[in-house]
Protein backbone atom coordinates (compact mmCIF):
# COMPACT_ATOMS: atom_id res chain seq x y z
CA UNK A 1 0.00 0.00 0.00
CA UNK A 2 1.31 3.48 -0.83
CA UNK A 3 0.09 6.87 0.32
CA UNK A 4 0.65 10.23 -1.31
CA UNK A 5 -0.12 13.79 -0.76
CA UNK A 6 -0.15 17.33 -2.08
CA UNK A 7 3.42 18.27 -3.10
CA UNK A 8 5.20 17.54 -6.38
CA UNK A 9 5.38 13.85 -7.15
CA UNK A 10 7.61 12.09 -9.64
CA UNK A 11 5.98 9.66 -12.12
CA UNK A 12 5.51 6.33 -10.28
CA UNK A 13 4.49 2.82 -11.27
CA UNK A 14 2.18 0.41 -9.43
CA UNK A 15 2.22 -3.31 -10.10
CA UNK A 16 -1.30 -4.54 -9.33
CA UNK A 17 -2.04 -8.22 -8.65
CA UNK A 18 -5.28 -9.64 -10.17
CA UNK A 19 -8.48 -8.21 -8.62
CA UNK A 20 -6.63 -5.39 -6.92
CA UNK A 21 -7.28 -1.68 -7.35
CA UNK A 22 -5.34 1.56 -7.06
CA UNK A 23 -7.53 4.27 -5.48
CA UNK A 24 -6.65 7.84 -6.36
CA UNK A 25 -8.09 11.20 -5.31
CA UNK A 26 -7.22 14.02 -7.69
CA UNK A 27 -6.68 17.56 -6.39
CA UNK A 28 -9.16 20.32 -7.40
CA UNK A 29 -6.62 21.85 -9.75
CA UNK A 30 -5.10 18.52 -10.93
CA UNK A 31 -3.50 17.65 -13.25
CA UNK A 32 -2.98 13.93 -12.96
CA UNK A 33 -2.67 11.35 -15.72
CA UNK A 34 -2.51 7.59 -15.85
CA UNK A 35 -0.92 5.17 -18.31
CA UNK A 36 -1.23 1.43 -18.70
CA UNK A 37 2.27 -0.06 -18.81
CA UNK A 38 1.36 -3.77 -18.89
CA UNK A 39 -1.70 -5.99 -18.55
CA UNK A 40 -5.29 -4.67 -18.56
CA UNK A 41 -7.08 -2.34 -16.17
CA UNK A 42 -10.32 -0.35 -16.05
CA UNK A 43 -11.75 2.69 -14.32
CA UNK A 44 -15.34 2.00 -13.21
CA UNK A 45 -16.01 -0.40 -16.10
CA UNK A 46 -14.16 1.45 -18.86
CA UNK A 47 -10.88 -0.07 -19.96
CA UNK A 48 -7.70 1.97 -20.03
CA UNK A 49 -6.35 2.12 -23.60
CA UNK A 50 -3.26 -0.06 -24.18
CA UNK A 51 -1.19 2.98 -25.07
CA UNK A 52 -0.97 6.64 -24.17
CA UNK A 53 -1.71 8.81 -21.17
CA UNK A 54 -5.28 9.35 -19.98
CA UNK A 55 -5.97 12.55 -18.00
CA UNK A 56 -7.90 11.94 -14.80
CA UNK A 57 -10.27 14.91 -14.31
CA UNK A 58 -9.58 17.30 -11.40
CA UNK A 59 -11.49 16.56 -8.15
CA UNK A 60 -12.27 13.01 -9.25
CA UNK A 61 -11.89 10.00 -7.01
CA UNK A 62 -11.27 6.85 -8.98
CA UNK A 63 -10.22 3.24 -8.67
CA UNK A 64 -7.98 1.69 -11.33
CA UNK A 65 -8.98 -1.95 -11.10
CA UNK A 66 -7.45 -4.97 -12.80
CA UNK A 67 -9.06 -8.37 -13.31
CA UNK A 68 -5.92 -10.18 -14.49
CA UNK A 69 -3.03 -8.04 -13.23
CA UNK A 70 -1.51 -4.82 -14.55
CA UNK A 71 1.23 -2.26 -14.14
CA UNK A 72 0.03 1.36 -14.27
CA UNK A 73 1.92 4.60 -14.07
CA UNK A 74 0.69 7.85 -12.51
CA UNK A 75 2.10 11.25 -13.39
CA UNK A 76 1.10 14.38 -11.50
CA UNK A 77 0.04 15.32 -8.01
CA UNK A 78 -2.70 13.52 -6.13
CA UNK A 79 -4.41 14.10 -2.83
CA UNK A 80 -4.09 10.42 -1.94
CA UNK A 81 -3.31 7.13 -3.64
CA UNK A 82 -3.25 3.59 -2.24
CA UNK A 83 -3.94 0.05 -3.37
CA UNK A 84 -6.48 -2.39 -2.00
CA UNK A 85 -7.59 -5.96 -2.69
CA UNK A 86 -10.82 -5.64 -0.71
CA UNK A 87 -13.30 -4.82 -3.43
CA UNK A 88 -16.83 -6.02 -4.19
CA UNK A 89 -16.01 -6.15 -7.92
CA UNK A 90 -16.61 -9.90 -8.29
CA UNK A 91 -20.11 -9.52 -6.84
CA UNK A 92 -20.75 -6.51 -9.08
CA UNK A 93 -19.63 -8.31 -12.24
CA UNK A 94 -21.72 -11.36 -11.32
CA UNK A 95 -24.71 -9.04 -10.99
CA UNK A 96 -23.90 -7.71 -14.45
CA UNK A 97 -23.79 -11.30 -15.81
CA UNK A 98 -27.28 -11.99 -14.44
CA UNK A 99 -28.62 -8.77 -15.99
CA UNK A 100 -26.94 -9.66 -19.25
CA UNK A 101 -28.65 -13.05 -19.34
CA UNK A 102 -31.99 -11.29 -18.82
CA UNK A 103 -31.24 -8.95 -21.72
CA UNK A 104 -30.51 -11.92 -23.99
CA UNK A 105 -33.76 -13.60 -22.92
CA UNK A 106 -35.69 -10.39 -23.63
CA UNK A 107 -34.10 -10.08 -27.08
CA UNK A 108 -34.96 -13.71 -27.88
CA UNK A 109 -38.57 -13.17 -26.73
CA UNK A 110 -38.85 -10.08 -28.95
CA UNK A 111 -37.50 -12.05 -31.94
CA UNK A 112 -40.12 -14.73 -31.37
CA UNK A 113 -42.85 -12.09 -31.16
CA UNK A 114 -43.72 -13.12 -27.60
CA UNK A 115 -45.72 -11.06 -25.12
CA UNK A 116 -44.48 -7.51 -24.59
CA UNK A 117 -43.58 -8.15 -20.96
CA UNK A 118 -41.16 -10.95 -21.88
CA UNK A 119 -39.30 -8.66 -24.29
CA UNK A 120 -38.57 -6.13 -21.53
CA UNK A 121 -34.96 -6.31 -20.34
CA UNK A 122 -33.94 -5.55 -16.77
CA UNK A 123 -35.12 -2.27 -15.28
CA UNK A 124 -32.56 -1.89 -12.54
CA UNK A 125 -32.82 0.74 -9.84
CA UNK A 126 -29.75 1.34 -7.64
CA UNK A 127 -30.56 2.64 -4.16
CA UNK A 128 -28.63 3.31 -0.96
CA UNK A 129 -27.66 6.08 1.45
CA UNK A 130 -25.39 8.95 0.42
CA UNK A 131 -21.89 7.90 -0.54
CA UNK A 132 -22.65 4.22 -0.88
CA UNK A 133 -21.32 4.08 -4.45
CA UNK A 134 -24.62 4.19 -6.38
CA UNK A 135 -23.42 6.37 -9.27
CA UNK A 136 -20.22 4.32 -9.52
CA UNK A 137 -22.09 1.01 -9.68
CA UNK A 138 -24.44 2.48 -12.33
CA UNK A 139 -21.41 3.51 -14.42
CA UNK A 140 -19.90 0.03 -14.19
CA UNK A 141 -23.14 -1.78 -15.08
CA UNK A 142 -23.68 0.57 -18.03
CA UNK A 143 -20.12 0.33 -19.35
CA UNK A 144 -19.96 -3.45 -19.04
CA UNK A 145 -23.31 -3.76 -20.87
CA UNK A 146 -22.22 -1.31 -23.59
CA UNK A 147 -18.96 -3.22 -24.03
CA UNK A 148 -21.05 -6.25 -24.95
CA UNK A 149 -22.97 -4.31 -27.56
CA UNK A 150 -26.10 -3.39 -25.58
CA UNK A 151 -27.44 0.17 -25.47
CA UNK A 152 -28.93 0.40 -22.00
CA UNK A 153 -30.71 3.58 -20.96
CA UNK A 154 -29.22 5.46 -18.04
CA UNK A 155 -31.81 7.26 -15.93
CA UNK A 156 -30.54 9.71 -13.33
CA UNK A 157 -33.05 10.73 -10.65
CA UNK A 158 -30.38 12.23 -8.38
CA UNK A 159 -31.18 15.94 -8.61
CA UNK A 160 -28.47 16.72 -6.04
CA UNK A 161 -25.57 15.83 -8.34
CA UNK A 162 -26.93 15.64 -11.90
CA UNK A 163 -24.51 13.31 -13.64
CA UNK A 164 -26.14 13.63 -17.09
CA UNK A 165 -26.75 17.36 -17.49
CA UNK A 166 -26.81 19.65 -14.45
CA UNK A 167 -28.17 19.28 -10.90
CA UNK A 168 -31.88 19.96 -10.47
CA UNK A 169 -32.84 17.73 -13.42
CA UNK A 170 -34.00 14.21 -13.90
CA UNK A 171 -32.65 12.83 -17.15
CA UNK A 172 -32.19 9.77 -19.27
CA UNK A 173 -29.81 8.93 -22.09
CA UNK A 174 -28.84 5.81 -24.05
CA UNK A 175 -25.33 4.56 -23.35
CA UNK A 176 -23.89 3.27 -26.60
CA UNK A 177 -20.28 2.72 -25.57
CA UNK A 178 -18.35 2.41 -22.30
CA UNK A 179 -18.49 5.74 -20.46
CA UNK A 180 -15.52 7.94 -21.35
CA UNK A 181 -13.07 8.31 -18.45
CA UNK A 182 -12.58 12.02 -19.17
CA UNK A 183 -15.88 13.20 -20.70
CA UNK A 184 -18.24 11.12 -18.55
CA UNK A 185 -21.83 10.43 -19.61
CA UNK A 186 -22.43 11.43 -23.27
CA UNK A 187 -24.50 14.59 -23.63
CA UNK A 188 -25.73 14.19 -27.20
CA UNK A 189 -29.19 12.72 -26.69
CA UNK A 190 -30.39 13.36 -23.15
CA UNK A 191 -34.04 13.51 -22.30
CA UNK A 192 -34.19 16.05 -19.49
CA UNK A 193 -36.99 17.31 -17.26
CA UNK A 194 -36.31 20.32 -15.10
CA UNK A 195 -37.17 20.33 -11.42
CA UNK A 196 -35.03 23.37 -10.66
CA UNK A 197 -33.85 22.62 -7.10
CA UNK A 198 -31.22 20.29 -5.66
CA UNK A 199 -33.60 18.87 -3.05
CA UNK A 200 -36.90 17.05 -3.75
CA UNK A 201 -38.46 18.14 -0.45
CA UNK A 202 -39.02 21.63 -1.89
CA UNK A 203 -41.78 20.24 -4.06
CA UNK A 204 -42.04 16.43 -3.97
CA UNK A 205 -45.23 16.41 -6.03
CA UNK A 206 -43.49 18.08 -8.95
CA UNK A 207 -40.61 15.62 -8.59
CA UNK A 208 -43.13 12.76 -8.86
CA UNK A 209 -44.89 14.34 -11.85
CA UNK A 210 -41.58 14.76 -13.68
CA UNK A 211 -40.58 11.14 -12.96
CA UNK A 212 -43.89 10.07 -14.46
CA UNK A 213 -43.36 12.21 -17.57
CA UNK A 214 -39.89 10.76 -18.06
CA UNK A 215 -41.07 7.18 -17.51
CA UNK A 216 -43.92 7.61 -20.02
CA UNK A 217 -41.62 9.08 -22.65
CA UNK A 218 -39.16 6.20 -22.20
CA UNK A 219 -42.00 3.69 -22.46
CA UNK A 220 -43.03 5.23 -25.78
CA UNK A 221 -39.45 5.06 -27.04
CA UNK A 222 -39.09 1.44 -25.94
CA UNK A 223 -42.32 0.42 -27.63
CA UNK A 224 -40.79 1.32 -31.00
CA UNK A 225 -37.30 -0.01 -30.29
CA UNK A 226 -36.99 -3.63 -29.21
CA UNK A 227 -33.18 -3.40 -28.81
CA UNK A 228 -33.44 -0.56 -26.25
CA UNK A 229 -36.28 -2.37 -24.57
CA UNK A 230 -34.21 -5.54 -24.22
CA UNK A 231 -31.15 -3.61 -23.00
CA UNK A 232 -33.31 -2.10 -20.24
CA UNK A 233 -32.52 0.71 -17.84
CA UNK A 234 -30.08 1.44 -15.05
CA UNK A 235 -31.63 4.01 -12.70
CA UNK A 236 -29.54 6.06 -10.28
CA UNK A 237 -31.29 7.55 -7.23
CA UNK A 238 -30.71 10.06 -4.45
CA UNK A 239 -29.03 9.12 -1.20
CA UNK A 240 -32.05 10.26 0.80
CA UNK A 241 -33.55 7.00 2.04
CA UNK A 242 -35.58 7.99 5.10
CA UNK A 243 -39.07 9.44 5.48
CA UNK A 244 -40.08 11.33 2.36
CA UNK A 245 -36.88 10.15 0.64
CA UNK A 246 -37.96 6.52 1.15
CA UNK A 247 -41.46 7.31 -0.09
CA UNK A 248 -39.97 8.82 -3.26
CA UNK A 249 -37.83 5.71 -3.77
CA UNK A 250 -40.93 3.52 -3.62
CA UNK A 251 -42.59 5.92 -6.04
CA UNK A 252 -39.63 5.65 -8.43
CA UNK A 253 -39.70 1.81 -8.30
CA UNK A 254 -43.38 1.89 -9.21
CA UNK A 255 -43.18 4.67 -11.81
CA UNK A 256 -40.31 3.11 -13.78
CA UNK A 257 -41.67 -0.42 -13.22
CA UNK A 258 -38.28 -1.49 -11.89
CA UNK A 259 -37.87 -5.25 -11.71
CA UNK A 260 -34.44 -5.32 -10.04
CA UNK A 261 -33.66 -3.21 -6.96
CA UNK A 262 -29.98 -3.18 -6.02
CA UNK A 263 -29.54 -1.95 -2.45
CA UNK A 264 -26.05 -0.76 -1.59
CA UNK A 265 -24.61 -0.93 1.89
CA UNK A 266 -27.68 -0.76 4.12
CA UNK A 267 -29.32 -3.85 5.57
CA UNK A 268 -32.24 -1.88 7.01
CA UNK A 269 -33.17 -0.31 3.66
CA UNK A 270 -32.90 -3.70 1.91
CA UNK A 271 -35.27 -5.25 4.47
CA UNK A 272 -37.75 -2.37 4.23
CA UNK A 273 -37.84 -2.49 0.44
CA UNK A 274 -38.09 -6.27 0.36
CA UNK A 275 -41.12 -6.11 2.66
CA UNK A 276 -42.64 -3.24 0.70
CA UNK A 277 -42.61 -5.13 -2.62
CA UNK A 278 -43.25 -8.64 -1.34
CA UNK A 279 -46.64 -8.74 -3.06
CA UNK A 280 -44.89 -8.22 -6.43
CA UNK A 281 -43.00 -11.42 -7.25
CA UNK A 282 -41.50 -9.96 -10.42
CA UNK A 283 -39.34 -7.51 -8.42
CA UNK A 284 -36.00 -8.79 -7.09
CA UNK A 285 -34.53 -6.82 -4.20
CA UNK A 286 -30.83 -7.60 -3.95
CA UNK A 287 -28.40 -6.50 -1.25
CA UNK A 288 -24.87 -5.61 -2.42
CA UNK A 289 -21.75 -4.66 -0.49
CA UNK A 290 -20.54 -1.10 -0.58
CA UNK A 291 -16.94 -0.66 -1.68
CA UNK A 292 -14.60 0.56 1.05
CA UNK A 293 -13.07 2.80 -1.60
CA UNK A 294 -16.15 5.05 -1.88
CA UNK A 295 -15.15 8.50 -0.70
CA UNK A 296 -17.39 10.38 1.74
CA UNK A 297 -18.36 13.88 0.64
CA UNK A 298 -19.65 16.46 3.10
CA UNK A 299 -22.51 18.91 2.31
CA UNK A 300 -20.02 21.71 1.57
CA UNK A 301 -18.21 19.52 -0.95
CA UNK A 302 -21.55 18.55 -2.53
CA UNK A 303 -22.57 22.21 -2.82
CA UNK A 304 -19.25 23.02 -4.49
CA UNK A 305 -19.61 20.04 -6.79
CA UNK A 306 -23.05 21.26 -7.89
CA UNK A 307 -21.50 24.59 -8.89
CA UNK A 308 -18.77 22.79 -10.80
CA UNK A 309 -21.36 20.69 -12.65
CA UNK A 310 -23.12 23.90 -13.76
CA UNK A 311 -19.83 25.46 -14.80
CA UNK A 312 -18.89 22.30 -16.74
CA UNK A 313 -22.16 22.48 -18.67
CA UNK A 314 -21.15 25.86 -20.08
CA UNK A 315 -17.34 25.61 -20.12
CA UNK A 316 -16.73 21.85 -20.57
CA UNK A 317 -15.05 19.41 -18.19
CA UNK A 318 -11.62 20.41 -19.47
CA UNK A 319 -12.59 24.11 -19.57
CA UNK A 320 -12.32 23.89 -23.36
CA UNK A 321 -15.75 25.27 -24.36
CA UNK A 322 -16.61 28.93 -24.80
CA UNK A 323 -20.22 29.85 -23.96
CA UNK A 324 -21.91 32.66 -25.89
CA UNK A 325 -23.17 35.80 -24.22
CA UNK A 326 -26.50 37.17 -25.39
CA UNK A 327 -29.01 39.85 -24.45
CA UNK A 328 -32.82 39.75 -24.65
CA UNK A 329 -35.47 42.31 -23.83
CA UNK A 330 -37.74 41.43 -20.92
CA UNK A 331 -40.62 41.54 -23.38
CA UNK A 332 -39.02 38.84 -25.58
CA UNK A 333 -39.19 36.10 -22.96
CA UNK A 334 -41.59 34.83 -20.29
CA UNK A 335 -40.23 33.24 -17.15
CA UNK A 336 -42.28 30.70 -15.20
CA UNK A 337 -41.86 28.93 -11.94
CA UNK A 338 -43.33 25.46 -11.50
CA UNK A 339 -45.39 24.92 -8.40
CA UNK A 340 -45.50 27.97 -6.20
CA UNK A 341 -47.60 25.91 -3.84
CA UNK A 342 -49.75 28.98 -3.24
CA UNK A 343 -53.39 28.39 -2.60
CA UNK A 344 -56.09 29.98 -4.72
CA UNK A 345 -57.80 32.77 -2.71
CA UNK A 346 -61.12 31.79 -1.12
CA UNK A 347 -62.83 34.57 -3.06
CA UNK A 348 -61.88 32.87 -6.35
CA UNK A 349 -63.44 29.53 -5.37
CA UNK A 350 -67.02 28.27 -5.54
CA UNK A 351 -68.93 28.77 -2.28
CA UNK A 352 -68.04 26.10 0.27
CA UNK A 353 -64.87 24.95 -1.53
CA UNK A 354 -61.69 24.89 0.52
CA UNK A 355 -58.51 26.39 -0.96
CA UNK A 356 -56.05 23.63 -1.92
CA UNK A 357 -52.43 24.28 -2.79
CA UNK A 358 -51.61 23.14 -6.32
CA UNK A 359 -48.00 21.99 -6.22
CA UNK A 360 -47.74 21.75 -9.99
CA UNK A 361 -49.22 25.18 -10.70
CA UNK A 362 -47.33 27.28 -13.19
CA UNK A 363 -46.68 30.86 -12.07
CA UNK A 364 -45.36 33.66 -14.26
CA UNK A 365 -42.52 35.46 -12.48
CA UNK A 366 -41.20 38.95 -12.97
CA UNK A 367 -37.64 39.18 -14.16
CA UNK A 368 -35.62 40.81 -11.40
CA UNK A 369 -32.04 41.20 -10.26
CA UNK A 370 -32.62 38.18 -7.97
CA UNK A 371 -32.22 36.08 -11.10
CA UNK A 372 -28.61 37.10 -11.63
CA UNK A 373 -26.32 34.03 -11.22
CA UNK A 374 -29.24 31.61 -11.47
CA UNK A 375 -29.82 28.97 -14.12
CA UNK A 376 -32.95 29.11 -16.30
CA UNK A 377 -34.07 26.11 -18.33
CA UNK A 378 -35.23 26.46 -21.92
CA UNK A 379 -38.04 23.94 -22.52
CA UNK A 380 -39.20 22.76 -25.94
CA UNK A 381 -42.72 23.87 -24.91
CA UNK A 382 -44.45 26.38 -27.16
CA UNK A 383 -47.25 27.20 -24.70
CA UNK A 384 -46.98 27.74 -20.94
CA UNK A 385 -49.32 24.85 -20.15
CA UNK A 386 -46.96 22.48 -21.98
CA UNK A 387 -44.01 23.39 -19.75
CA UNK A 388 -44.45 20.78 -17.05
CA UNK A 389 -44.61 17.92 -19.54
CA UNK A 390 -41.89 19.26 -21.79
CA UNK A 391 -38.32 18.13 -21.76
CA UNK A 392 -35.70 20.84 -21.96
CA UNK A 393 -33.53 21.88 -24.87
CA UNK A 394 -30.82 23.33 -22.62
CA UNK A 395 -29.97 25.90 -19.98
CA UNK A 396 -28.85 29.50 -19.77
CA UNK A 397 -27.04 31.24 -16.94
CA UNK A 398 -28.16 34.78 -16.12
CA UNK A 399 -25.18 37.13 -15.85
CA UNK A 400 -27.00 40.47 -15.64
CA UNK A 401 -30.49 41.91 -15.29
CA UNK A 402 -30.69 45.53 -16.34
CA UNK A 403 -33.80 47.14 -14.96
CA UNK A 404 -32.91 50.75 -14.46
CA UNK A 405 -30.24 51.80 -16.83
CA UNK A 406 -31.38 55.10 -18.26
CA UNK A 407 -30.89 56.10 -21.85
CA UNK A 408 -31.94 59.25 -23.57
CA UNK A 409 -33.41 57.28 -26.41
CA UNK A 410 -37.09 58.05 -26.06
CA UNK A 411 -38.61 55.19 -28.07
CA UNK A 412 -41.08 52.74 -26.46
CA UNK A 413 -41.50 54.91 -23.40
CA UNK A 414 -43.91 53.38 -20.88
CA UNK A 415 -44.48 54.59 -17.32
CA UNK A 416 -47.19 53.26 -15.08
CA UNK A 417 -46.68 55.95 -12.45
CA UNK A 418 -48.00 59.41 -13.18
CA UNK A 419 -46.40 61.28 -10.26
CA UNK A 420 -44.64 64.51 -11.09
CA UNK A 421 -41.17 62.97 -10.70
CA UNK A 422 -41.87 59.99 -12.96
CA UNK A 423 -43.63 62.10 -15.52
CA UNK A 424 -40.58 64.32 -15.57
CA UNK A 425 -38.23 61.31 -15.89
CA UNK A 426 -40.44 59.80 -18.53
CA UNK A 427 -40.07 62.86 -20.62
CA UNK A 428 -36.30 62.34 -20.66
CA UNK A 429 -35.47 58.64 -20.33
CA UNK A 430 -36.78 55.15 -20.72
CA UNK A 431 -35.92 51.97 -18.85
CA UNK A 432 -34.02 49.43 -20.89
CA UNK A 433 -35.06 46.17 -19.20
CA UNK A 434 -32.59 43.69 -20.60
CA UNK A 435 -31.54 40.26 -19.45
CA UNK A 436 -27.98 39.12 -20.26
CA UNK A 437 -27.11 35.44 -20.20
CA UNK A 438 -24.61 32.88 -21.37
CA UNK A 439 -25.67 29.83 -23.37
CA UNK A 440 -23.67 26.91 -24.79
CA UNK A 441 -24.54 27.89 -28.39
CA UNK A 442 -24.88 31.19 -30.26
CA UNK A 443 -28.14 32.43 -31.76
CA UNK A 444 -31.69 32.90 -30.59
CA UNK A 445 -33.19 30.84 -27.82
CA UNK A 446 -35.26 27.92 -29.14
CA UNK A 447 -38.19 29.03 -26.96
CA UNK A 448 -39.48 32.27 -25.50
CA UNK A 449 -40.54 30.38 -22.41
CA UNK A 450 -38.03 29.94 -19.60
CA UNK A 451 -38.21 28.04 -16.30
CA UNK A 452 -36.81 29.68 -13.17
CA UNK A 453 -34.76 27.77 -10.60
CA UNK A 454 -32.99 28.06 -7.29
CA UNK A 455 -29.76 26.74 -8.85
CA UNK A 456 -26.97 29.26 -8.73
CA UNK A 457 -23.42 29.47 -9.94
CA UNK A 458 -21.10 32.41 -9.27
CA UNK A 459 -18.50 32.97 -11.93
CA UNK A 460 -15.16 33.47 -10.13
N1 LIG B 1 -13.48 1.97 -5.27
C2 LIG B 1 -13.37 3.28 -5.27
N3 LIG B 1 -12.17 3.87 -5.10
C4 LIG B 1 -12.04 5.22 -5.08
N5 LIG B 1 -13.07 6.07 -5.20
C6 LIG B 1 -14.30 5.53 -5.36
C7 LIG B 1 -14.52 4.13 -5.41
N8 LIG B 1 -15.85 3.92 -5.60
C9 LIG B 1 -16.43 5.13 -5.66
N10 LIG B 1 -15.50 6.09 -5.52
C11 LIG B 1 -15.73 7.55 -5.50
O12 LIG B 1 -16.47 7.86 -4.31
C13 LIG B 1 -17.33 8.98 -4.54
C14 LIG B 1 -18.76 8.62 -4.12
O15 LIG B 1 -19.23 7.56 -4.93
P16 LIG B 1 -20.63 7.65 -5.69
O17 LIG B 1 -20.81 8.97 -6.35
O18 LIG B 1 -20.72 6.45 -6.55
O19 LIG B 1 -21.59 7.52 -4.44
P20 LIG B 1 -23.17 7.77 -4.43
O21 LIG B 1 -23.77 6.79 -3.51
O22 LIG B 1 -23.70 7.78 -5.83
O23 LIG B 1 -23.23 9.22 -3.85
P24 LIG B 1 -24.51 10.18 -3.64
O25 LIG B 1 -24.77 10.10 -2.20
O26 LIG B 1 -24.04 11.51 -4.07
O27 LIG B 1 -25.62 9.67 -4.47
C28 LIG B 1 -17.22 9.30 -6.03
O29 LIG B 1 -16.34 10.38 -6.18
C30 LIG B 1 -16.61 8.03 -6.64
O31 LIG B 1 -15.88 8.29 -7.81
- Residue 188 and residue 440 in contact, taking contact as beta carbons nearer than 8 Å: no
| Probe residue for ligand 1, chosen from 25, 26, 79, 136 as the CB with the greatest number of ligand atoms within 8 Å | 136
Greatest CA separation for the chain: 84
Beta bridge pairs of residue 39: 70
Question: Annotated binding site for ATP, which residues?
Answer: 21, 61, 131-136
pLDDT for the residue 317:
80
- Residue 74 and residue 110 in contact, taking contact as beta carbons nearer than 8 Å: no
Domains parsed from the chain with CATH numbers:
12-86 (2.60.120.1030), 89-288 (3.40.50.300), 322-343+357-451 (2.40.30.330)
- Residue 144 and residue 103 in contact, taking contact as beta carbons nearer than 8 Å: no
Query: What is the ipTM for the molecules in this complex?
Result: 0.99
Nearest alpha-carbon partner for 152 in 125, 181, 123, 186? 123
Q: Tens digits of per-residue pLDDT, 120-152? A: 999 999 999 999 999 999 999 999 999 999 999
Task: Read off the pLDDT of each residue in 5-27 and give the average, rounded to a whole number.
Answer: 88
| pTM (predicted TM-score) | 0.90
* Rounded Cα–Cα distance for residues 6 and 263 (Å): 35
Containing 435, the helix (H) or strand (E) segment is strand 434-439
Q: Which residues line ligand 1 (CB under 6 A)?
A: 23, 61-63, 128, 130-136, 158, 161, 239, 291, 293-295
Task: Read off the pLDDT of each residue in 21-35 and give the average, rounded to a whole number.
Answer: 92
CA dihedral 261, 262, 267, 273 (to 10 degrees): -10
Strands 430-431 and 78-84: unpaired
Question: Annotated binding site, which residues?
Answer: 21, 61, 131-136
* Rounded Cα–Cα distance for residues 160 and 236 (Å): 12
* pLDDT above 80: residue 420: no
Amino acid sequence: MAAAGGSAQAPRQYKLAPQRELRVEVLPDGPLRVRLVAGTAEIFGTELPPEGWVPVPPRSKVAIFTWHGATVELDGVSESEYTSDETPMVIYVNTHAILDARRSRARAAAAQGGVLEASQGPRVIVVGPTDSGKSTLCKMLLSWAAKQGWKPTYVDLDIGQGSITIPGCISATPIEKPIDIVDGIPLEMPLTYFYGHPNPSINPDVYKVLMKELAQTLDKQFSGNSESRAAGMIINTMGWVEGLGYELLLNAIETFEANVVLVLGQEKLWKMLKDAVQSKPNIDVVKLHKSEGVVLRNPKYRQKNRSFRIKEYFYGIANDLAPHSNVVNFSDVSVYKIGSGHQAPRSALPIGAEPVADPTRLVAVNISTDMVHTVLAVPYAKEPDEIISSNVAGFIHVTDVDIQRYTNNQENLTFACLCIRCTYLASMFHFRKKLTYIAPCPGDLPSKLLIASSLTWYEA
